[in-house]
Amino acid sequence: MKKQHLAIIVIVTVALVIGSAVLVLLNEEPADTTPVSYTYEVINVYPHDPNAFTQGLIMEEGVLYEGTGLRGSSTLRRVDLETGNVLQTNALSDEFFGEGITVFGDRIIQLTWQSQKGFVYDKHSFDLLQEFSYPTQGWGITTDGTQLIMSDGTANLYFLDPETFETIGQVEVHGNGAVTNLNELEYINGEVYANVWQTDKIAIIDPHTGQVKAWIDLAGIYNPENTNPDSVLNGIAYDAESDRLFVTGKLWSQLFEIKLIALK
């Protein structure tokens, strides 16, 4: 082999190696997982029952449903958005502390805090259809339309079969470390929004990976008229038909329609 040929082969080989290394480096560069930060704009303010210890909030087909907690005052209710009036209510027996609610088909599902028991109601009549059990505490619940997604106050989201209520999966929610105290939930366009208990923050979570993709900071949205330390942000409802997002809190006298504003 001539020296020139050998030199060309060496140059081409070196170029290929360098090129491959550059491609590997480009491919292995970690994806930017820095969460987006959102603030808010208040679009509308509606009255909210200041005695409602809000634990679950959903809007479906323009109807607002709310689940409330505390033993002795836990309810499932249908609420008129404009007036805040309770149109229909079902009281839980005093032993139960009501938690999150979601609608699945013609049924409403309601969790309880420490009783490891959930209730299934007819969406229209609020008649109790079924009870089910689960091994953890019950905090928030929502649905992606196929499975139920549940929180228990830890950093975990659990995926439940909507017919058998068996746990069929779970992810740990993490941002810069595990994000615990996940409370009321709402599934919106492929993401899970979660109130983080005792904060003004809502995490926007990729339910497949548990990664927090964004944070909403709702600080200052409500000035409590009471001094109850339990009166914290809790309750996210999304009206898919009109793309409206609502939030409220435990014992808050107001419910807010908000728009999210991304901060750069």
- Which residues are at the interface with Ca ion (CB under 5 A)? 57-58, 186, 236
Q: Which is nearer to Ca ion, 109 or 212 (CB)?
A: 109
Instruction: Find the shortest distance in angstroms from Cβ 202 to Ca ion.
Output: 11
Instruction: Find the shortest distance in angstroms from Cβ 110 to Ca ion.
Output: 12
Torsion angle in degrees (nearest 10) through CA of 206, 210, 211, 214:
50
Instruction: Find the shortest distance in angstroms from Cβ 15 to Ca ion.
Output: 57
Residue bearing tokens 């926007």: 204
Q: Which is nearer to Ca ion, 59 or 212 (CB)?
A: 59
Query: Rounded distance, CA 29 to CA 147, Å?
Result: 34
Instruction: Find the shortest distance in angstroms from Cβ 141 to Ca ion.
Output: 8
Instruction: Find the shortest distance in angstroms from Cβ 131 to Ca ion.
Output: 21
Q: Which is nearer to Ca ion, 57 or 232 (CB)?
A: 57
Q: Which is nearer to Ca ion, 10 or 60 (CB)?
A: 60
The answer to whether 163 and 148 are in contact (CB under 8 A) is: no
Q: Which is nearer to Ca ion, 177 or 190 (CB)?
A: 190
Query: Rounded distance, CA 229 to CA 248, Å?
Result: 15
Q: Which is nearer to Ca ion, 173 or 236 (CB)?
A: 236
First to last CA, the chain: 60
Q: Please list the residues that pair with 107 across neighbouring strands.
A: 104, 122
Contacts 24+ apart (CB under 8 A), 145-154: 145/187, 148/102, 148/104, 148/109, 149/185, 149/187, 149/192, 149/207, 150/100, 150/111, 150/185, 151/100, 151/182, 151/183, 151/185, 151/194, 153/180, 153/181, 153/182, 153/183, 153/197, 154/180, 154/181, 154/182
* Helix, strand, coil percentages in the chain from 3-state DSSP, rounded to 5: 10, 50, 40
Instruction: Find the shortest distance in angstroms from Cβ 153 to Ca ion.
Output: 16
